[in-house]
Amino acid sequence: MSFTAIDPATGDTISTHADTDPGDAFAVVRLAHQAQTEWCRTGMKERSGLLANLGRLLGDRKSRYAELMTSEMGKPISQALAEVEKCAWLCEYYADHAAEFLAPVAVDTDASTSYWCYRPLGIVLGIMPWNFPFWQVIRFAAPAITAGNAALLKHAPSVPGCALALEAIFSDAGYPPNVFRNLFADVPLTGELIEHPLVRAVSLTGSVRAGRSVAARAGGVIKKCVLELGGSDPSVVLGDADMELAVNSCFAGRMLNAGQSCIAAKRFVVVESVLNAFQEAIVERMSATVMGDPMDPATELGPMARLDLRDTLHDQVIRSVHSGARLLVGGVVPDRPGAWYPATVLAGVGPGMPAYHEELFGPVATIIPVVDEEDAIRVANATSFGLGASVYTADTEKGERIARDMLDAGNCFVNGMVKSDPRLPFGGTKESGYGRELSPLGLREFTNVKTVWVR
């Protein structure tokens, strides 16, 4: 397996990089270990200062990095710019608050002094996806490194340019050599890295299949791992919902990044009393979405990231239609080079259809009709995933109660699309994974919470 970037808008090859030799990879692990033993003794003021530098560089270079992302995986340029800006925000957030979040916590006990503190684990291996090629890496690496760890990156094979750019920017920000390193590791080598005695923890964002494999491998050697896996997020639209708000939010949640997001709004669970109104409005919005050059700032929908992903999505749509779903718009593969797929709406989706049970990773909205609020909550939770969920209702107290107590997911939003925020914990339940990123919890995730007792 080589790491090859192919422009999904044209099908042209951009670059190819050879896999890292295992011997070279293990040498990098040793160098990262040596670097981490020094880095963990660096004061929080210096660590936070370097993180602030990283954030400034991301802001200064956002146009360059956005164009790189768009060329390698097809993200519309306006969304790519927003991704880099969000990375800079994360750096700023942790630079301002890391010392506070990692401060020891004193406890009054029978000792003269007792407290717990947060100490780094060592090397954290990040296995990262292609869909948010900067955000996912910064999200795991910046907090892990700020907590005193070193980080190794095994990025997706289709975004090698992004991987190299990320390695370079940590160096340019002034971080010590080998505190953050990229490895073009194939699957067998990645397994060996997980089990390497100097690698202390693993962070994976990817598929359920990958999560099972990584969790089994890490569990076999008793290592901490954080898993952010797939999602089939429901958007529950109740009878008293603000229809314009619900439609606009569901549209944005479904179409961001051509629908290629774990927390995309994938299932629209709509009560019968407003089904026709919602369906007509969402079809109108989706029909007006024109595929275009992802480098054009006005483009809402660019190509999907790869041909195989597009073909998998189309197969799910066709099988759902054959099982009884109604195709209201889209669903036809364009006759043009590249991994293009139109905005698509499937209505009348129910049990037994791929669109009901499987994650659709692309610009396809599925509308699931339900009788009432109770039925809507049941259907929303009738999935093996549990990453995000949203509910739309004019009664915000009821919406909050549903989000807090009834929806089985890690991130529950009322009258808004599910999104990640550096200030809030992010993660899932069930087959969407475990562990948390972002917020104080994410900064502490790859630390040893150590009790110290002194008489």
Q: Which two tokens stand for residue 437?
A: 């990123």
Residue 387 and residue 229: Cα distance in Å, rounded? 8
Tokens 């400034």 belong to which residue? Answer: 56
Q: Which two tokens stand for residue 33?
A: 């270990």
Q: Which two tokens stand for residue 233?
A: 């997020």
Instruction: Report the greatest alpha carbon distance in the chain.
Output: 76
Question: Has 87 been annotated as catalytic?
Answer: no
Which one is catalytic: 72, 83, 92, 228? 228
Question: Has 228 been annotated as catalytic?
Answer: yes
Contact 403, 230 (CB under 8 A): no
Contact 137, 169 (CB under 8 A): no
Beta-sheet strands, E only, within 230-299: 233-237, 265-271
Kindly tell me the sign of the dihedral angle through the C-alpha atoms of 73, 76, 81, 83.
Answer: negative
Which one is catalytic: 262, 358, 373, 445? 262
Paired strand residues for 115 = 106, 452
Residue 285 and residue 264: Cα distance in Å, rounded? 16
Q: Look up residue 179 and give its DSSP letter.
A: S
Residue 55 and residue 89: Cα distance in Å, rounded? 7
How far CA 369 is from CA of 235, 268, 363, 384, in Å, comes to 12, 8, 20, 19
Catalytic (active-site) positions: 228, 262
